[in-house]
Amino acid sequence: MTMPLMKPKRKNPVLRTRQMNLPPWARGRVALGMTAAAAEGHLALQVCQECQAVQYPPREACHRCLSSQLKWRPQTGAGQLLASTTLHHSNDLFFRERLPWRLGLVELDVGCSVMVHLHGEVGEAPTRVHVGARLDRAGQAVLIGFPEQGSEHMADDRMLREMTSDPRFRKVLVTDGKSAVGQALVQALVKAGAEIVWVGHAEPWKKLPGLDDITRLPQVTLVPLDLSNGRQVSELAGEIGGKVDIVINNAEVHRAFGIASRRGTDVAKAEMDINYFGLLRLAQEFGPALRARSADGMAHAAAWVNLLSVYALSNYPPHGTFSASKAAALSLAQCLRAEMRPAGIRVINVFPGPIDDEWNQNLPPPKVAPAALATAIVKALKEGIEDVYPGEVAQEWLERWRDNPKVLERELASGGS
């Protein structure tokens, strides 16, 4: 049974801050299909379309019939642990600092055998296990063997915590506390065990509903943060940047207009100033500090979360300028992910459908409740997921966008949703 994680001791300032050494990360292009599935929390393996043989490791041609018709398909991951071993020595810099490290050979029920990292609660072979895919610190898919029945503290496993960004005992910055989503996020993070939650408040003179409820929580501290004010962002980074482990950027400006329904560019500029340039300012000030602490003990800097929108995938004309600002933010977030990856910082992009707030009040259900969105974000942190699509609308849009982006664009332009 996994022992519950204890609150990390205060770091000795005399000791060096350990620098991040990534695990082996080189993968062939064909293997990135597994990484793409793991980024959304799924285990996927190649399946031959001719003979239905399941393939592992990933390859260009079927190992049974040599067909090149291999498609990635979700798998249950059920299997039998055949053998296990524990590494006590490694020439790899990443694993050398994290020994001992347990590995196992699992025969999946679908017919192939895989090498996996073993969770500490998995017993000795032979035993039934469940294999899941996770992203490692290099952002590549790895396989982990989990017990069929885990304990309540299984997320505290030392190896698993390396693969995830669990908020427990970590310090988190939520950039906007005035919105319903921001307040739900604060509640969810405190429930998940966050040690400190700094909450940005752009207009501290306003008494907003729900703000008193979160400020009463002992873990919560309000901080002045307006993402349109570069100096304020810089000052806050100088004050707490070296302490933050997780940044959650949920600040946004949302107006329900297209192009012809509003004259001028003032509102569109306001959307871009927060949704795009706000993210840029935040990344420039807080990014270097997170990268510097990405290997700093059990509560190292771990993740950056961007609240985007499924409208970033394809423009939704009734919310046209908002969609454009989120599309720009998505492109910037992809750049941020590439720059953060060498330091092992996970960048999580969240693409909700319509949120049940004032700017979507005229849209019919289904809509994502703020509490459900907050739960999805905390789950992504705990499970190491990189791309999240909360809500039925987001899931449907994603499926239609992957099937044919041009068809989705035409459907949305003609009034379909």
Interatomic CA distance for residues 30 and 40, integer angstroms: 18
Q: Tell me if 190 is assigned to some domain.
A: yes
pLDDT at 217: 94
Position 3 scores a pLDDT of 58
Number of domains in the chain: 2
Residue 146 domain-assigned (yes or no):
yes
Q: Where are the alpha helices (DSSP H) in 229-276?
A: 230-240, 266-275
Whether residues 215 and 193 fall in one domain: yes
Minimum mean pLDDT range among 150-154, 160-164, 243-247, 308-312: 150-154
* Residue 1 resides in a domain: no
Closest CA to 311 of 409, 415, 180, 407: 409
What phi and psi values does residue 231 have, to the nearest 5 degrees?
-65, -40
Give the mean pLDDT of 42-51. Answer: 96
Q: What is the pLDDT of residue 9?
A: 67
**Per DSSP, which regions of 281-357 are E strands?**
303-307, 346-350
Burial class (CB in 10 A: 0-12, 13-18, 19+), 86: exposed
pLDDT given at position 331: 98
Dist. CA 112–CA 291, nearest whole Å: 38
Confidence of residue 240 (pLDDT cuts 50, 70, 90): very high
pLDDT band at 173 (very low <50, low <70, confident <90, very high): very high
Domain boundary among 116, 144, 163: 163
d(CA 254, CA 74): 36
Cβ distance 36 to 43 under 8 Å? no
Whole-angstrom Cα distance, residue 300 to residue 394? 32
Cβ contact 285:237 at 8 Å: yes
Check pLDDT > 80 for residue 254: yes
pLDDT, position 6: 63
Query: Could you give the CA distance from residue 250 to residue 50 in angstroms, rounded to a whole number?
Result: 46
Query: Beta-carbon neighbour count of residue 73 at 10 Å?
Result: 15
DSSP 138: T
Considering 131, 163, 195, which residue would you say is the last residue of a domain?
163
Note whether residue 358 is domain-resident. Answer: yes
What is the CATH classification number for the domain harbouring 399?
3.40.50.720
> 166 is written with which tokens?
């669990």
What pLDDT does residue 14 have? Answer: 74
pLDDT band of 2, cuts 50, 70, 90: low
- Per-residue pLDDT tens over the stretch 199-233: 999 877 777 777 888 989 999 999 999 999 999 99
Whether residue 80 sits in one domain with residue 41? yes
Spatial contact of 117 and 13, defined as CB atoms under 8 Å apart: no
Do 129 and 188 belong together in one domain? no
pLDDT over 90 (residue 234) = yes
My answer on whether 337 and 313 are in the same domain is yes
Check pLDDT > 80 for residue 4. no
Residue with tokens 């997780």: 246
Of 2-16, 312-326, 355-369, the poorest mean pLDDT is in 2-16
* Closest to 112 measured CA to CA, from 37, 41, 34: 34
Asked if 56 contacts 34 with a C-beta cutoff of 8 angstroms, the reply is no
Calpha distance 300→165 (Å, rounded):
9
pLDDT of 353 strictly over 70? yes
Domain end residue (candidates: 116, 143, 163): 163
pLDDT band at 295 (very low <50, low <70, confident <90, very high): confident
94 falls within a domain = yes
User: Do 217 and 123 lie in a common domain?
Assistant: no
pLDDT band at 11 (very low <50, low <70, confident <90, very high): low
- Please tell me the distance from the alpha carbon of residue 7 to that of residue 402, in angstroms, as a whole number: 43
Q: Are 246 and 195 in contact (CB under 8 A)?
A: no
Contact (CB, 8 A) for 289 and 340 = no
Same domain, 139 and 180: no
Strand partners, 146: 130
Model pLDDT, residue 417: 58
Same structural domain, 70 and 188: no
Per-residue pLDDT, averaged over 105-118, amounts to: 96
Q: For the chain, what is the mean pLDDT? A: 91
Give the residue numbers spanning the domain of 142: 29-163
Report the residue count for the chain.
417
Please give the average per-residue pLDDT across 44-70, as a whole number. Answer: 95
275 and 151 fall within a common domain: no
What is residue 25's predicted lDDT score, i.e. its pLDDT? 81
In this prediction the pTM is 0.92
Which residues, 6+ apart, have CB-to-CB distance to 222 below 8 Å? Answer: 177, 198, 199, 201, 204, 215
- Cβ atoms of 117 and 103 within 8 Å: the answer is yes
pLDDT range class, residue 1, cuts 50, 70, 90 = low
SS (H, E, C) 142-164: EEEEEECCCCCCHHHCHHHHHHC
Shared domain for 146 and 248, answered yes or no, is no
